[in-house]
Amino acid sequence: MPFLCTAALSIDLSRNLVQQKYAELNYTAPDSFSAALADRSDYWTRKNQFDAFHKRLSDLTSLPENWDAEDAARPTSVALDATRNALLAMQELGVMPERISPSVEGGVAVSFLRGRNRAFIEFYNSGEIVAATYEDEGEPVVWEVEAIDAMNRAALDRIHVHLTG
């Protein structure tokens, strides 16, 4: 993790230095060059965020039974593995979750938020997956999903369109 932070910082510094040099020469850096550096910086930022989500998921393995004092089951390996696979697909598609949390219904919940647009995926301990898109008002759109991974991205595509639409 320190290496990743250092790498991201290094890219930001490089970009600043390049822009500074161009400014000294009273010259504007080509857009394509700046964009390429920005893309690399965004990549590392995104990678760091997804690393944090994977860490959060690992932390959920140590939750005790009845973790919510209301008899909630701890997330099982079925729910955790399904969420882990989905996270890899989200990272590839650039669909950034807002939060990963244990569900009181037994499993793992992933929440998404962009402005007024929200989405929610629940990975149940039973292996079932349910996704939803919604806004501050109106009926949520809820559907069952067979799998979310590198080969099954339809639900994430739908969520991505909702969040960015």
Partner 1 sequence: MLSGDRPIINTFDPTEQLYMRYRIEQFLNGHLDPAAIRADGQSVNRSTLSEPEDTLFHEQGRYNGWGVVAFEVAIIPKEVPQAQGPSYTFFPIHVPLDVNYGHSEIAADHIPSTGTLKKPSKTVAVAFRINLSRYITENSIRILAAG
Counting contacts by CB under 8 A, is residue 111 touching partner 1?
A: yes
For every residue of the chain, DSSP letters joined together read -HHHHHHHHHHHHHHHHHHHHHHHTT-PPPHHHHHHHHHHHHHHHHHHHHHHHHHHHHHHTTPPTTTTSS-PPPPPHHHHHHHHHHHHHHHHHT---SEEEEETTTEEEEEEEETTEEEEEEEETTS-EEEEEE-SSSPPEEEEES--BTTB-HHHHHHHHHHH-
User: Does 109 sit near partner 1 (CB under 8 A)?
Assistant: yes
Q: Which stretch binds partner 1 (CB under 8 A): 32-40, 47-55, 82-90, 118-126?
A: 118-126
User: Which x/- pattern over 124-163 shows residues binding partner 1 (rule: CB under 8 A)?
Assistant: x---x-x-x-x-xx-xx-xxx-------------------
Residues contributing to the site for partner 1 (CB under 8 A): 68-70, 98-99, 101-105, 109, 111, 113, 120, 122, 124, 128, 130, 132, 134, 136-137, 139-140, 142-144
